[in-house]
Amino acid sequence: MNQPAESSLSRRDVLKTSAIASAAIATSSIATGAYAAGDETIQIALIGCGGRGTGATANALSREQGPMKLVAMADVFDNRLSVSYNSLNSKFGDKVDVPPDRRFIGFEAYKSAMDCLKPGDVVILTTPLAFRWVHFTYAIEKGLNVFMEKPLTADAPSSRKMLALGKEAEKKNLKVAVGLMCRHCSARGELYERIQAGEIGEILLLRAYRQAGPTGSAFALPNDGKLPEVLYQIKNFHAFLWASGGAFSDFLIHNIDESCWMKNAWPVKAKAAGGRHYRGDYVDQNFDHYSVEYTFADGTKLFLGGRTMSGCDKEFASYAQGTKGSAVISTSAHHPAKSRIYKGQNFVKEDLVWAYPHKEQSPYELEWEHFLHAIRNDKPYSELERGVIASAVTSMGRMAAHTGRTVTFDQYMKLDHAFAPDADKLTVDGPAPLLKDANGLYPVPMPGLKTKREY
């Protein structure tokens, strides 16, 4: 990859966003009584009714910070919306008020659902990420507070677009939450403070792993013709870079983000490797394994290992190692983190110095506590910029693996390859953003052969 001119979006501009990472954590023990303004119902619309959208809505409705009610839902799949509605209605009863005429299906359904809200209400955006900028644009127009799932982007043009939209949302005093919930974890929050206070010395190395078997829809078989092509790709969104950033972005962003949080910085470049094995009849764009070396401005490294292969060792954890000791950032998946500090580098019981002493509340719940607190008390609140940068840093590592070239952050942010530039124009019967070749195969990354684009 040729070295481009210096990006107009400098590293100095984006590195500062990590400094606010612990601000929300400081409110992790908010008392319900603090919400003096909680005498009006916050209405919610859910856009994207899959498992994550249903889960996020359940997290919202279970909070005790004043009245809330789900009033509208939208998806492109009728059965997915029905399953979500039935699940939420059975659990939350009168907090769910979504009659059939407020359940909307189709690519324009998001507008109908948001039209049911009043300014200051909340819309939950949990569709595949290609639609994030489309839906965020309309939410800003309607004056809605937004919770949006990660990742936010899979390519540089969308990242630049979302950063610009974030500024528009701030001008309208809209609150924006991003589903990088680990930033709201109390255990990780205390570990961050201890690391910043120097308890493990200067960080020398960060390591992060998400190694499991086949996950989500990352392994996709050919379209059997039962669905139009665009709906097939949306249903199998983990399989396609335009819809999710692939398995890399959707699954590894949390480990990357929590590691960068502890470093209190974002990496400036990445080099990586990866490959496809035992593919059989699968037609997705993913590699089965990824190994990335992220480098920070001071030369510190974050080594990331991702794998989705059966029969291999499994690990889902992140670590920090410093000049005076080491730390477990998270032990197994997202919750509980079981964060702890050791005086040596071996992570053995006899060297344990500190472990988070309290029962951990789910970060999925805490992120809604902090978000709703800001809404009820009209406090400035935006995780948008940090969410975009986390998504871009993740994509930078993915691109390094897919091209076989070192990629800098400045290089990445200047790229012009948009994976789904017309996401706002998709129709059920129209073409999908990714087209098959004459053999019915989708383009896949070819490191060393395709070096300026991922496919």
Residue 278: pLDDT band with limits 50, 70, 90 = confident
Give the pLDDT score at 14: 43
Give the pLDDT score at 163: 98
Give strand pairing partners of 407: 270
Residue 440 makes CB contacts below 8 A (sequence gap 6+) with 222, 283
Give the pLDDT score at 16: 41
The domain covering 186-361+393-413 belongs, at the CATH homologous superfamily level, to Dihydrodipicolinate Reductase; domain 2 (3.30.360.10)
Segment 267-288 mean pLDDT: 93
Comparing 34-43, 125-134, 388-397, the range with the smallest average pLDDT is 34-43
Residue 2: pLDDT band with limits 50, 70, 90 = very low
Segment 97-102 mean pLDDT: 98
How far is Cα 398 from Cα 53, in angstroms, rounded to an integer? 25
pLDDT, tens digit, 9 for 90 and up, residues 245-261: 999 999 999 999 999 99
Which is more confident, 25 or 181? Answer: 181
Residue type, 337: A
Give the pLDDT score at 230: 98
Segment 44-60 mean pLDDT: 98
pTM (2 decimals)?
Answer: 0.91
The CA-atom distances, in angstroms, between 144 and each of 46, 113, 126, 378 are: 12, 12, 15, 13
The proportion of the chain whose per-residue pLDDT surpasses 70, expressed as a percent, equals 91
Segment 151-170 mean pLDDT: 98
Q: Does residue 352 have a pLDDT over 60?
A: yes
Residue 128: pLDDT band with limits 50, 70, 90 = very high
Give the pLDDT score at 279: 79
Segment 90-94 mean pLDDT: 97
The domain covering 11-183+364-383 belongs, at the CATH homologous superfamily level, to NAD(P)-binding Rossmann-like Domain (3.40.50.720)
Half-sphere exposure of 376 (CA within 13 A, CB side): 25
For the chain, what are the domain ranges? 11-183+364-383, 186-361+393-413
Give the pLDDT score at 30: 34
Give strand pairing partners of 311: none
CA neighbor of 375 nearest in space, from 48, 55, 63, 22: 63
Segment 335-349 mean pLDDT: 97
Segment 176-204 mean pLDDT: 98
